[in-house]
Structure 1
Amino acid sequence: MVKRTILLVCGWICVVLGMIGAFLPLLPTTPFLLLASACFMRGSPRLNHWLLSHPQFGPVLENWHRHRSVSPRVKRRANIMMVLSFAFSIYWVPLIWHKVMLLVMLAILLFWFNRLPVRENPPLSDPL
């Protein structure tokens, strides 16, 4: 019971952060929604179904769960947001070694993310 409650609380926190991230450029949406889905899968299948059938978030999550891939649109947006947020951080940090560390982290993140398979989002599944 305690584990289920913790999973539900963490899932809802991730959903809220993901929704905020849809509007704020420095907060990523998709990773929070993936975490929320993982928490809901273990804590509440009903909430996981709700998240997977959501008109905006469902196709992205379903594409990831079924094919371990992202759509070209999601990939393009994520690349832009990563570069912009890291550029902002690099601009504001005063020490050169911080700037270099951020550049290396950005390069690694972009390399990893752009190796993910690309696939169009499938249409939402019809609930039973």
Structure 2
Amino acid sequence: MTLVLVALGGAAGSVLRYLTDRRVQAWRDSPFPFGTLTVNIAGSFVLGFLSGWALYGGLPSPVRSLVAVGFCGGLTTFSTFGYETVRLFLEKTRLYAVLNVVATVLAGLLSGGLGLLLAAALWS
């Protein structure tokens, strides 16, 4: 059953990542990968929240499999972040490449921390 939950969550997360990326990129019309940045920040928040739930509220194992492993795993993408950063560097938009790394790391950590704090406030 765990494998099914991971697969269902992953499918939902992947589809949402694709749709969000296309929507955000069309809205921004920029070589900077705002779509990937958006899904990675959102996924970091959700995973931070779920981590807090696990620490303070006892996150049920099926929810962890469906949402933390499956959905967040499908929603967030390190490989696309890496590819887009290298692409920006090779296309001589090196400032965007550096900004992508800095923004993704800092915003991801901040977002995950905020999710963790929210869960702590709810369950502690």
**TM-score interval for Structure 1 and Structure 2 normalised by the shorter chain:** 0.3 to 0.5
Task: Give TM-score scaled by structure 2 length.
Answer: 0.34
Q: Which has the larger radius of gyration?
A: 1
Task: Give TM-score scaled by structure 1 length.
Answer: 0.33
Q: Bigger relative contact order, structure 1 or 2, given CA contacts below 8 A and separation 6+?
A: 2
Structure with greater helix percent: 2
